[in-house]
Amino acid sequence: MADEIYKTNKDEAVFWFSFGKLRAVEDVKMCKDESAGQQVAIYGMLARNTVKYMNEKGYQYILEQLEKAVEKDEKTPLRPAPTWACYHGISAFSGKVDTVPQSEFENIKKETRKTYINSMKKHIEDEKNNKQ
Tens digit of pLDDT for each residue in 39-96? 898 988 899 999 999 999 999 999 999 999 999 999 998 888 999 999 999 999 988 8
Long-range contacts, stretch 85-88, CB < 8 angstroms, 24+ apart: 85/24, 85/27, 85/28, 85/30, 85/31, 85/36, 85/39, 86/30, 86/31, 86/32, 86/33, 86/36, 87/36, 88/28, 88/36, 88/38, 88/39
What is the reported pLDDT for 19?
Answer: 95
How many structural domains does the chain have? 1
What is the reported pLDDT for 132?
Answer: 67
Domain with 53, as residue range(s), is 2-131
What is the Cα–Cα distance from 27 to 38, expressed in whole angstroms?
A: 12
What is the reported pLDDT for 41?
Answer: 86
Which residues make Cβ contacts (< 8 Å) with residue 38, sequence separation at least 6? 88, 89
- For the chain, the average pLDDT equals 92
Tens digit of pLDDT for each residue in 90-129? 999 988 899 999 999 999 999 999 999 999 999 889 888 8
